[in-house]
Amino acid sequence: MFEFIKSWFQAEPVPESIKTEVKSLVDTNNIMVFSKSYCPYCQSTKSLLDKYSKNYKVVELDEVDNGSVMQRALQEMTGQRTVPNVFINKKHIGGNSDLQSLQAKGALASLIK
């Protein structure tokens, strides 16, 4: 048990290649969503984005090989560990609640355009 707790706190550093992969996804997609397929908050985010365009990029972190390491890279980059983790035009937006509040303020449409 102690070993398990120790390994949790002493996780391997995130490889540069994974950080580069995450940055590249953010840089090459106007709307980038890091998601998990079973996550209800992610579903809300995708439903909202669908109203604007189907043309956004989603990576389901639970369905790709390096998903958990990508999630750690995102935490290092943004301070946010949870999904969805949303970027619009390379800018970190935050999670579903952040996206929904932009929508409620009427600020999302202009951000996406």
Ligand X SMILES: N[C@@H](CCC(=O)N[C@@H](CS)C(=O)NCC(=O)O)C(=O)O
Residues within the interface to ligand X (CB under 6 A):
36, 39-41, 82-84, 95-97
Question: Which residues, in sequence order, are CB contacts of 64 under 8 Å at separation 6+?
Answer: 70
* Least spacing, CB of residue 69 vs ligand X, in Å: 12
* Least spacing, CB of residue 9 vs ligand X, in Å: 16
Residues in the chain, overall count: 113
Q: Which is nearer to ligand X, 2 or 57 (CB)?
A: 57
Q: Which is nearer to ligand X, 7 or 28 (CB)?
A: 7
Cβ atoms within 10 A of the Cβ of 85, count?
29
Residue type for 21, please? E
